[in-house]
Amino acid sequence: MIVLWELEGKGGRRYSLFSWRTRMALRHKGLAFETRPVRMSDKAAIAFSGGGTVPVIKDAETVVRDSWAIAEHLERTYPEKPLFGGDIGRGVTHALNAWVDRSIVPAMLAVIVADIHERVDPADDAFFRQMMEKIVRATLEETRASRDQALRRLGSALAPLQATLKRQPFVSGAQPAYADHILFSVFQWARVMSPQEVLAPEDPLCAWRERMLDLFDGFARNVPVA
């Protein structure tokens, strides 16, 4: 049985976006796993991994940290039901991973950061505020005031993916693969921690998100959300 360490917020919400990449990858491979909740401010709980961030997995005796390294480990160890589909797919998916992390994640964070703050574990309240206000260079209260602008910036950042999803049902083509799990993690993070709808109903990303929520018997749909 694989064990996954991930963040837990109020009401049992599992909100680490990077852990959602790992959750989806594990289900994609058809692997059973159990989870261990970790507080954001409690680095000691995952010190055994050699790092201070989730996700961390333990697969038999192997400990792997970092969502990308975990995806590579799963693809290497369980080659059925591919996440990358070979060397080229893995290489290009890495480029997409870097793009999502540096362009789309910050754009989404600016929209939902105050909503996330309301739903983290109370023990993480001050830690979260201090860390995030540094990252977004504004107080949480200021981010609420500039939300419309942040939503427009998010829309611009997502435009290339809208174009892609007009042509094909998944980022990875006809079927979902790890590139979809990467992008989906950003929307699942929003869905679990924010009551705002960030997509217009006619946006091709909206129908794609529904397809992702349907995967693995509604695995990502049936969780505590905002």
Other Cβ atoms less than 10 A from the Cβ of 163: the count is 10
Task: Calculate ∠ Cα 196-201-202, nearest 5°.
Answer: 145
Contact pick of 47, 135, 145, 163 for a copy of itself (by CB under 8 A): 163
164 belongs to the binding site for a copy of itself (CB under 8 A): yes
Query: What's the rounded Cα separation, in Å, for the pair 134 and 137?
Result: 5
Could you tell me the sign of the dihedral formed by the alpha carbons of 18, 24, 25, 31, in that order? positive
179 belongs to the binding site for a copy of itself (CB under 8 A): yes
Task: Let me know: does 109 contact 136? Beta carbons within 8 Å.
Answer: yes
* E-only strand ranges, the chain: 2-7, 33-38, 56-59, 62-65
98 belongs to the binding site for a copy of itself (CB under 8 A): yes
Among 22-30, 44-52, 106-114, 173-181, the segment contacting a copy of itself (CB under 8 A): 173-181
Task: Let me know: does 147 contact 194? Beta carbons within 8 Å.
Answer: no
168 belongs to the binding site for a copy of itself (CB under 8 A): yes
x/- contact string, 26-65, with a copy of itself (CB under 8 A)?
----------------------------------------
200 belongs to the binding site for a copy of itself (CB under 8 A): no
Contact pick of 42, 66, 72, 101 for a copy of itself (by CB under 8 A): 101
Helix (H) or strand (E) holding 104: none
177 belongs to the binding site for a copy of itself (CB under 8 A): yes
Name the residue nearer to a copy of itself (CB basis): 92 or 126: 92
x/- contact string, 133-162, with a copy of itself (CB under 8 A)?
--------------------------xxx-
85 belongs to the binding site for a copy of itself (CB under 8 A): yes
Pairing relationship of beta strands 33-38 and 2-7 according to DSSP bridges: parallel
CB of 13 to a copy of itself, least distance (A): 29
94 belongs to the binding site for a copy of itself (CB under 8 A): yes
Task: Calculate ∠ Cα 154-4-58, nearest 5°.
Answer: 130
112, 182, 127, 43: CA torsion to nearest 10: 170
Beta carbons within 8 Å of 116's beta carbon, 6+ residues apart: 9, 15, 128, 132, 189, 193, 194
96 belongs to the binding site for a copy of itself (CB under 8 A): yes
Name the residue nearer to a copy of itself (CB basis): 113 or 177: 177
Residues that bind a copy of itself (CB under 8 A): 82, 84-96, 98-99, 101-103, 159-161, 163-164, 167-168, 170-175, 177, 179
